[in-house]
Amino acid sequence: MMRRIVLILFLLMPGIAGYGADVVVRMIRAYGGSNEALPPVVVLSAEKGGDVGSNSVTIEFDVSASSIPNVYARIVHCNADWTPDENGFLSDVNNRTTLVDWKIMPARSTYSGYRGMLSLPNVQTSIRFSGNWLVKIHDLDSDSLIAETRFFAVETRATIRMNFMTDFYQPRYRVSGTAYTIETMVQDNTARLLSTNLHTVVLYRNNRWYDPFIASERLRSVVNPGTIGSDILGMVQGGKIFRVSRIPAQNEYRVLDVSNPGRFPSTGQPIPIGLSDIRRNGMFVQRADDGAMLAGGISNAIDEFVPVEFLLDPTPGGASDDDIFVAGSFNNWRPNRDWMMYFDAQLRLYRLRQWVRRGRHNYLYANGRISADSYDAINVNYEEFEGNTASANNTFISFAYYRELDYGGYDGIVAVGAGTMYGNK
């Protein structure tokens, strides 16, 4: 069987504290090749990866700094739970790159001054082992960490087929209890991989890389959120089946298009997105972009961040008992205290003013609370203001982990697949 290596890039929106004092990362994202609509997957072989992979991945990060910063990116191998590997065979301290292309933002742009673009793999950086990898971006002058991303490297030695079934769960709020049970069958024609060494499957909604759903024989300490369950069914029909059950279906994503300067001018004043932004509980009128940001058609003259005001009408029922956040492609689906809304008792609306990069974004309103340690939103769910519907066409991506015995042992990834309620990709 032909082997191939697949890379999946993940995004981490760094907190301001603890990073370089002169360099602040405003946004970071990754996508496949030169097509921002593709998932951040690169196939390191002559064979094209189809809908799941490309030949390279592009990383963009917008920064506020007094001048173009000198940066380098170092990659670190990790176990399946993202614990960095101490094995020197896997993580070479010299495996780093400085090949960043910089773009100067429009002169009037005050929120972000420069955009760095990095392509992986490149002539300075090699990926020798499959598994989880961290990309750590450092300021070269101070050696301080200014941003961090994640990617998966997949050595394709097996295939994945995903089976979606409608399910039910007990929601916290008065919304539809629609859910999915997803079975991932990992198949290997040689049957050599179908053993206890094939130990974990992880599912993600596309572009939402911080909300994993895990079925594992080894990661006993990892617990899925809410009422989500998992099982490993063993060898069935020539493959090993990993099941994750009662995943809330959620809703189709909301769309925020700030690409038109006529609708969102560069005046520095926040533009309200409109009072039609009410709770939906299962209703939507347009298809979204599978959680991605689309900004490829923005001209250089207006390629900047603009201030917007999110307005959420909580009626009926009034203010929530939880903290309310905005989560979307503009913050890598990882909200923190900067994306927490406040309830205006006079107007009886939730409000948030934030800077959003020009383009077409997908987003949702989330319930949760702030972590005292990281200031990230934790215990996040989308039920109260979004609801659930099985007609939402959101892609799930599945990864299969195998415990490789070479080089002292490490968690490698041997298969990746993608699918929706309507079939596999």
Q: Quick one: tokens of 184?
A: 């991932």
Quote the percentage of the chain above a pLDDT of 70: 93
Q: Give the separation between CA 375 and CA 352, rounded to whole angstroms.
A: 17
pTM, rounded to two decimals: 0.91
Give pLDDT tens digits for 91-132. 888 889 999 999 999 989 989 999 999 988 999 998 888 888
Q: In what order do the strands lie in the sheet with 178-187?
A: 159-168, 178-187, 239-248, 229-236
Predicted confidence at residue 46, as pLDDT, reads 53
Predicted confidence at residue 16, as pLDDT, reads 37
Contact 352, 341 (CB under 8 A): yes
Q: Give the separation between CA 355 and CA 305, rounded to whole angstroms.
A: 6
Long-range contacts of 85-94 (CB under 8 A, 24+ apart): 85/410, 87/407, 87/408, 87/410, 89/407, 89/408, 90/129, 90/131, 90/407, 90/410
Q: Give the separation between CA 14 and CA 147, rounded to whole angstroms.
A: 6
Q: At 350, is the secondary structure helix, strand, or coil? A: strand
Provide the pLDDT confidence category of residue 286 given band limits of 50, 70 and 90: confident
Contact 306, 266 (CB under 8 A): yes
Distances (CA, A) of 286 to 20, 36, 253, 274, 362: 41, 20, 9, 17, 11
Give pLDDT tens digits for 396-416. 999 999 999 998 899 998 988
Exposure on the CB side of residue 233, measured as CA atoms within 13 A: 15
Give pLDDT tens digits for 197-231. 999 999 999 999 889 999 999 887 788 988 899 99
Predicted confidence at residue 276, as pLDDT, reads 67
For 347-404, the DSSP string reads: TTEEEEEEEEESSEEEEEEEEEEE-TTT-BEEEEE-HHHH---TT----EEEEEEEEE
Provide the pLDDT confidence category of residue 1 given band limits of 50, 70 and 90: very low
Q: Give the separation between CA 13 and CA 367, rounded to whole angstroms.
A: 19
Q: At 136, is the secondary structure helix, strand, or coil? A: strand
On average, the pLDDT of the chain sits at 87
Pairing mode of beta strands 323-328, 178-187: unpaired
Q: Give the separation between CA 204 and CA 198, rounded to whole angstroms.
A: 19
Which residues 6+ apart lie within 8 Å of 264 measured at CB? 258, 271, 306, 308, 358
Does 248 have pLDDT greater than 80? yes
Range scoring the smallest mean pLDDT among 39-53, 268-282, 392-406: 39-53
Predicted confidence at residue 10, as pLDDT, reads 47
Give pLDDT tens digits for 156-170. 889 999 999 999 999
Domains and CATH numbers, the chain: 5-155 (2.60.40), 159-250+391-424 (2.60.40), 254-386 (no CATH)
Mean pLDDT within 354-380: 94
Predicted confidence at residue 275, as pLDDT, reads 62
Does 4 have pLDDT greater than 80? no
Predicted confidence at residue 13, as pLDDT, reads 44
